[in-house]
A and B are shown apart, each in its own frame.
Chain A
Amino acid sequence: MELYIHIPFCKQKCLYCDFPSWDSCADSIPDYIDALKKDLVNSLEPSFVRTLRSENNVRNSLSGASAANNRSGCGKNGGAEPNLVPIETVYIGGGTPSFIDASYIEEIMELVKSRAKISENAEITLEANPCTVTKEKAQRYLACGINRISMGVQSFNDGELRLLGRAHDAAAAHKAFYVLREAGFNNISIDLIHGLPGQTAPDFLASLDKAIDLAPEHISAYGLIIEAGTPFNDIYADWEPDEDEQVRIYTHTVERLESSEYFQYEISNFAKRGFESRHNLGYWIGEEYLGCGLGATGYAGSKRVTKEKKLEEYISNPLKSYTEHITAEDKKKEFIFLGMRRKSGINAVEYEKIFKEEFPENYKKIFKKYSPEYVTVENNSYRFTVQGFLVSNTILSEFM
């Protein structure tokens, strides 16, 4: 089981951001943390997880949960530990988790450790941004068990950073990176964004080179998406991306990173060998995860559950959630469109093992149609080429 924890606060909201996060609600932080703890306690109850996994609707699942409780005999009430939910990865994202006081992170981590069985080699990531990282915070993060930092740098070009509405400059990013390294973090990821209005391939590659020079273990390079409702959407309402330039940026990014031994393992993710994000990989291979905090999503059995997205409402009712039922058909679709996000793609034998049916002929046909330019077909495995990643939506929609 994976665990995602959402911290929806930022020093300053970026102009392109459509995540549930706030830069003007710092007063709510203590109340939020209280609510989040209630959410965590509830979510980490073994009976809660069983409820999620139970097949049917709410009425059935409630009775199912109580039956399961009876069978297991000793739940939390028994005070014994063996029934704690095993957790393999934790991801504290946001927002900017590094923005809030480190003591809150410590409290959260203590709670998780006491209520769940975190595995020995768990990957525990915290998202940070350059202007909120300090030496003291970094040390405290390490001390409470966090072993991976994902730092949103976005660009090493000050002009671009201003354009994005980021609260830091490139120098701050360098500084923060060294602070983390010196504190002892040996698994750091840097996030970059490409496809900014006016950005050329050389512009982005310059940022990329600066990231590579810092030698992080992991680099994510995301294409900018201008979402409705963000200030960016208004500012750049008339902006038409130059497709050829964006294709150049993407293909050059893949080449540059691969040649620097950052191996692509997903559309936007690259890592040194052995440093792929296990937590994120989990999303693409159908692992189960719990989501705690405002707007966080969990998935287990046949349900995907999303928490309340309004801050005040979440604080007063942290257990409120919205459930989406995932049918067998949905699972097949997700197997394809999530699995294909990975560089290694999907495997027909694996499909047959999971779904107990033959890999569908029409799937094979679709893949064949796009092979070899967009899809590489090898024995039973199918994976996108770089050109395929670029048009993956068009191709994947055919599996829906």
Chain B
Amino acid sequence: MSKSDQSRIRNFCIIAHIDHGKSTLADRIIEKTGVLTLREMQSQVLDNMELERERGITIKAQTVRAVYKAKDGNEYIFNLIDTPGHVDFNYEVSRSLAACEGAVLVVDAAQGVEAQTLANVYLALDHNLEIMPVINKIDLPSAEPERVINEIEDVIGIEAHDAPLISAKNGINIEEVLEQIVSKIPAPGGDEDSPLQALIFDSVYDSYKGVIIFCRIMEGRITTSTRIRMMATGAEADVVEIGTFAPGKFIPCEELSAGMVGYITASLKNVKDTRVGDTVTDAARPAANPLPGYKKVNPMVYCGMYPADGAKYGDLRDALEKLQLNDASLQYEPETSIALGFGFRCGFLGLLHLEIIQERLEREYDLDLVTTAPSVIYRVYKTDGTMLEITNPSNLPDPAEIEHMEEPVVSAEIMVTTEFVGAIMKLCQERRGVYNGMEYIESTRALLRYELPLNEIIYDFFDALKSRSRGYASFDYEIKGYVPSKLVKLDILINKEEVDALSFIVHADSAYDRGRRMCEKLKDEIPRHLFEIPIQAAIGGKVIARETVKAMRKDVLAKCYGGDITRKKKLLEKQKEGKKRMRQIGNVEIPQKAFMSVLKLDEE
């Protein structure tokens, strides 16, 4: 492609609050630009994973190239880079944005600007993207496009009066969106004769091709004979194939040059070598500097994952290995629990990431898992002057050796209709939030700012937020740093035996309450045995809460004659089967479920 052709390329992404219609608009754009016939269209082409479709969120960045014949008579190449839709993946989002010149901002005509809308817009503005607002769901009875346009102008401060009023779902006004992409979003720049600088915004592992790098060529060019080097990781390899994207398939080509979006395969075996945000350059003629903005993302949330059936440990390891090929931010290392046996301590970007991995392990790899309470990374400053980072409560040193501890905090923005402000403020206070101010977006909605400890939001904060605002609150956060905190390790003793998998680190002020609720919850989860089972919560050997599972003195004494034998046998076998799936702690059998149910203590 020659230089002049750059003017016919539009690299853009679509940003939106969850459920505002990002993926549906992407579908319409693909449909209208004719890369797919209707028959090939499956709803939401870009959300590849079953899980993504079900949850209605995008987890991995997806890219599609389409050709649009505009009203000016010219053909334009659209590179649509779909970005992950969740705060857990903010870094990936920022790299996808960096690969674009513009962003189509989708705002729901009824709901208006939400927390993620703002967060995404700020992120896009940070990358100097041209933001092109689109008002979606215009055909809803509750649509108020005028109000939403004013809101965009007032709150975000961008021109929105000529924003296309569309319904992505029903294909209304899509043409106008396409025309505005041509007229409003700038063409890419970059000099194809400069040394190669290609921004990696995603990479996937394919069992045939190895690692496939998704990249935007910022400067220079790459051909099939280039030897490439990742500037941050230092990995080098010969290019095997380069090309561009069609939905669901790859189209090889001879050369990619500045301004273009495409893929590279180079017989790389591990996505760890091709970190999102890294710069690909030509090993023979390297660029002087990498592109700005690269950082190695580190897990924020950790938990233990154990196979429900101990014999499946090897299967779990293989599955994690495979998932990691595609997900460099997933970390894991073996660990052992007295209660749960052999498993892994896994690190995730956030709770959603954790849930997604857990679900994928269960669905795609057919594993039955027991997950321990998620933990953040605590910094433990010891009296001998050293500092430890703790992700597993069991590794916490003896309290006597601890000088003080620190925990990570986030700055959070919560957008909520004014009637629920009180309820949400109360929730934030319960979660040790520090109030940082409130703004009224309009007369009915407010933006609350809080500093919250990360460990207070990784449990069930989202659920609590939703239930206390009847689903109206939206939430976004970013990690702010570490602050000293009065933290204690809460141990759970079942029949006088400490269950390591149930220990967790908690702020001293909420320890009593959490301990009490843990005991209550466990009391309901642990089946009765032939003896009484005390359940205790303790801090450093001091019991702070106790419940008792009463001894069972009688089970069902059904009669059992000729016709009852089969049923009886099945009943006893089922009982045995149930026991098999339990974990034996001392002489108490604890259902797997009990280990997880304690994660949701806020249910009312």
Contacts and interface: CB of A to CB of B under 8 A. Distances in A.
B573 interface: yes
Contacts of B568: 337
Nearest to A290: B562
A248 B565 CA distance: 27
Nearest to A393: B555
Chain A interface residue number, banded: 35 or more
B557 interface: yes
Nearest to A249: B554
Interface in B553-571: 553-563, 565-566, 568-569, 571
A206 B361 CA distance: 60
Contacts of A244: 553
B288 interface: no
A334 B565 contact: yes
A246 B566 CA distance: 26
Contacts of B554: 243, 246-247, 250, 390-391
A280 B557 contact: no
A294 B556 CA distance: 26
A337 B569 CA distance: 8
A291 B559 CA distance: 18
Given A374-B530, A393-B571, A400-B573, A223 B565 contact: no
A246 B555 CA distance: 10
Interface string A233-274: 000000000011011001000000000000000011000000
Interface string B542-559: 000000000011111111
B563 A392 contact: no
Contacts of A398: 576, 579
A291 B553 contact: no
A283 to B, nearest CB: 5
A296 B561 CA distance: 11
A182 interface: no
A268 B557 CA distance: 8
A397 interface: yes
B555 A394 contact: yes
A346 to B, nearest CB: 15
A385 B526 CA distance: 26
A223 B575 contact: no
Nearest to A395: B530
A4 interface: yes
A289 B565 CA distance: 13
Contacts, number: 92
B566 A267 contact: no
A283 B565 contact: yes
A333 B557 CA distance: 18
A280 B555 contact: no
A302 interface: no
B86 to A, nearest CB: 43
A304 B575 contact: no
A295 interface: yes
Contacts of B338: none
Given A4-B562, A296-B563, A304-B565, A394 B557 contact: no
Interface string A325-344: 00000100110011001000
B601 interface: no
B569 A333 contact: yes
A289 B572 contact: no
Interface string B98-129: 00000000000000000000000000000000
Contacts of A397: 572-573, 575-576, 579
A225 interface: yes
Contact of A304 (B530, B566, B571, B579): B566
Contact of B563 (A295, A337, A389): A295
Interface string A271-290: 00000000010011000010
B557 A223 contact: yes
A324 interface: yes
Which of B554, B556, B561, B575 has the most chain A CB atoms inside 10 A of its CB? B554
A390 B568 CA distance: 16
A295 B565 CA distance: 13
B565 A338 contact: yes
B530 A393 contact: no
Contact of B559 (A222, A338, A389): A222
Nearest to B571: A393
B492 to A, nearest CB: 24
Contacts of A392: 555, 557
Given A280-B561, A295-B563, A324-B566, A400 B555 contact: no
Contacts of B560: 283-284, 338, 341
Interface string A373-400: 0100000000000010111111011111
23 contacts: A4-B562, A243-B553, A243-B554, A247-B554, A250-B554, A299-B562, A304-B565, A324-B566, A330-B569, A334-B565, A337-B569, A338-B560, A338-B565, A374-B530, A389-B557, A390-B557, A393-B556, A393-B575, A394-B552, A398-B576, A399-B572, A400-B572, A400-B576
- Report, nearest first, the 7 A-B pairs whose CB atoms are least far apart: A397-B575, A400-B576, A297-B563, A223-B557, A393-B555, A390-B554, A397-B572
